Amino acid sequence: MAEGRTRAAWAEIDLDALAHNVAVLAHSAAPAALCAVVKADAYGHGAVQVARTALASGASGLAVAIADEGLELREHGIEAPVLVLSEVTPDAAEVLVRARLTATVATQRGMEALAAAARHVGTRARVHVKVDTGMHRLGVAPVEAPALVQAAAAEPALRVEAVWTHLAVADGTTADDQAFTALQLRRFDEVVAALAERPRLLHVANTAGAIAWPAARYDMVRCGIGMYGCAPAPGMPGDAAAVVASLRPVLSLKARVSAVRELDAGERPSYGRRRALPERGVVATVPIGYADGVPRRLFDTGSPVLVGGRRRPLAGTVTMDQLMVDCGPGATVGPGDEVVLIGRQGEEEIGAGDWARLLGTISYEVLCGIGPRLPRVYRSAGDR
């Protein structure tokens, strides 16, 4: 069972689709550079493999959420620029500096700790100063930003490479959302105008900003969800919709049937006995469950899976390690047959966005929720 090592369930990552998406986004944002966001294990796709493919496909650098994620990339021989998107605690500053990661600075305290760590190591740390233009999660206030940038620039142990911010509703389509994004851009421009010297890089846009807000591209864009083939939000307007339509899903979630049984109408499989089979038919057991990122609520929403190229309903509640599928009367399904939870089989396809709509969440959460005990299997044209 090569796909899942000792277990017949796995997440399949299409590296050709990933390379295509990076190229599409890089072309859309040009001449701005593209920074590939590989935080959270590349949204569940596997940070190391994704980083290598993204860099080979047009990304100029990488971004992670925490220093440990950057350390993993360095430990696997990835030497490209890696931006840590959050300000690290003072006790982690030296680890970041020694790994040659690029630091986000948002406070005087953080700047001073980073400078002290760089002096101790005997190097200059690369710094991107983050401004809070309205997200209110992390960043220096606009009125205080020029002074922080100047203080960092005056510190011999630091090299200020960039000033940046993050857009809160670049994927929004309401008039209020549009107005707020425009306000964030004005606030950012005012900060830049007040700086004694413009840094080498200005960056603002996430995927939504990169494809929907040309004015937000500046010198670099930070693309995450689009790189993985998902829309930042449904109903992206105008040219952004065309870019989204050209993206290809990267991750498929698959397993193989482990057991089958024929049950009478009225039988109620799984915990809670919550669904009576409408007619006598074949029920397939599949070795994947909520511990792997298949939410129990999928049963409540009526989300199907694909078996034999057809949509089939769950026969009962998703359990920790297994689920059961109602394949219907006379189904010829047997042990070893492929089941697709996310992805394409025949002419049918179920996307991470489909799960998100049913579950009342976003595709980011669906992808990041796919558990680490599922092997990631990487495919490319050469494999096929």
Q: Which residues pair with 312 in a beta bridge?
A: 305
**Cα 81 to Cα 128: distance, rounded to the nearest angstrom:** 12
Q: Count Cβ atoms within 10 A of the Cβ of residue 68 and give its class: 0-12 exposed, 13-18 middle, 19 or more buried.
A: middle
Residue of 43, 228, 271, 364 with catalytic role:
271
CA dihedral angle for residue 357, residue 359, residue 365, residue 371, rounded to 10 degrees: -130
* 130 is annotated as an active-site residue: no
Give the angle 202-207-211 at the CA atoms, nearest 5°.
90
Residue of 39, 43, 228, 290 with catalytic role:
39
Strands (E), 107-226: 125-130, 158-164, 201-203, 220-223
* 364 is annotated as an active-site residue: no
**Cα 337 to Cα 280: distance, rounded to the nearest angstrom:** 21
Q: Count Cβ atoms within 10 A of the Cβ of residue 5 and give its class: 0-12 exposed, 13-18 middle, 19 or more buried.
A: exposed
**Cα 274 to Cα 73: distance, rounded to the nearest angstrom:** 45
Written as six digits, the tokens of 2 are 């090569």
Q: Which residues contact 353 (CB under 8 A, 6 or more apart)?
A: 230, 231, 234, 363
Q: Which active-site residues does the annotation give?
A: 39, 271
